């Protein structure tokens, strides 16, 4: 039995169900249940909360979330091979785990969860960034979630918490820090996973703000930031010339020098520019 519940250790679960991680699904499994429980604790007080988990695999983090007191967990898993292992977890935590076999990009979690809702996941590498951007850019704010506790490649995690002027600063930093507090809470070496990835990983915790830090239209801000950082070596007057015909005037009105590059502009500056662009 494991240290956190009456279920078998994860290595045994993986062997029993022949769950070799598949590169095509972006899978890297965490095998240490003490570590998955530590990650679950970073999500905050789970009692009284429903939790959305993406890509649970053999159920390591799932078990951590349930053992830490989550009211209910919705686990969305694309790999049908993992469903029997997750069914064993559901049986051990009667009535507290719902497993949906499907694509997380196509499932509406609000059909299955009751607020308050936290998201916690060792995200598959091939869909992690897309899911994060979706969660950060809904038209209505506050979002359905109160916090996100997500594992990424360390390089992606650093991009989420990056500050202006740094090499990692870009679109993810703007979108994350506009509407949330973001910080790296755990760093993980490759050997923590099976199979070990070629890069280190990190867990990022994001807490939704009641209001965005600065006013801006989400779609306009996303478009401006995407264009600015798509050609980050160019001056903004060049990288944004397709956004508005009089972009230099718009930049000046937002308090930004047209000769600046994207990585030099603060979040407040990009929001001001988005408001100016919306006027066109």
**What are 208-234's pLDDT values in tens digits?**
999 999 999 999 999 999 999 999 889
In this predicted model, what pLDDT tens digit does every residue of 242-271 receive, in sequence order?
Answer: 999 999 999 999 999 999 999 999 999 999
Q: What token pair was written down for 239?
A: 């990288």
> In terms of Cα–Cα distance, which of 170, 183, 130 is closest to 270?
170
pLDDT at 1: 58
What's the confidence (pLDDT) of residue 280?
Answer: 67
What was the pLDDT predicted at 147? 98
Tokens of 35: 């570590």
**Token code pair at residue 178:** 């506009």
pLDDT over 90 at 101, yes or no: yes
- pLDDT, tens digit (0-9, with 9 covering 90-100), for 130-144: 999 999 999 899 999
pLDDT for position 31: 86
Query: How many angstroms separate the CA atoms of 112 and 98, rounded?
Result: 9
For the full predicted model, state whether its pTM sits above 0.75.
Answer: yes
Within 10 angstroms of residue 57's Cβ, the number of other Cβ atoms is 27
| Nearest by Cα to 131 from 103, 111, 99 | 103
Q: Residue 176: which of 140, 221, 220 has the closest Cα?
A: 221
């Amino acid at each position: 039995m494991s240290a956190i519940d009456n279920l078998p250790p994860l290595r045994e679960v993986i062997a029993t169900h022949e769950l070799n991680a598949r590169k095509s699904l972006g899978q890297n499994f965490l095998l240490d249940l003490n570590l998955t429980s530590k990650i679950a604790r970073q999500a905050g007080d789970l009692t009284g909360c429903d939790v959305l988990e993406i890509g649970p695999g053999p159920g390591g983090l799932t078990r951590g979330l349930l053992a830490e007191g989550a009211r209910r967990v919705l686990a969305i898993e694309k790999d049908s091979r993992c469903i029997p292992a997750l069914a064993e977890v559901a049986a051990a935590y009667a009535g507290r785990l719902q497993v949906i076999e499907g694509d997380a990009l196509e499932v509406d979690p609000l059909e299955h969860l009751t607020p308050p809702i936290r998201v916690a996941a060792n995200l598959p590498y091939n869909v992690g960034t897309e899911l994060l951007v979706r969660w950060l850019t809904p038209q209505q704010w506050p979002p359905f979630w109160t916090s996100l506790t997500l594992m990424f490649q360390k390089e992606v995690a650093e991009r989420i918490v990056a500050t202006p002027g740094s090499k990692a600063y870009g679109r993810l930093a703007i979108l994350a820090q506009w509407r949330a507090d973001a910080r790296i809470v755990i760093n993980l070496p490759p050997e923590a996973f099976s199979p070990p990835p070629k890069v280190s990983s990190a867990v990022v915790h994001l807490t939704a703000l009641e209001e965005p830090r600065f006013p801006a239209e989400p779609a306009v801000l996303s478009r401006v930031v995407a264009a600015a950082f798509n050609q980050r070596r160019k001056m903004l007057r060049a990288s944004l010339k397709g956004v508005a015909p009089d972009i230099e005037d718009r930049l000046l009105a937002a308090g930004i020098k047209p000769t600046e590059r994207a990585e030099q502009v603060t979040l407040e500056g990009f929001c001001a520019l988005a408001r100016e662009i919306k006027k066109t």
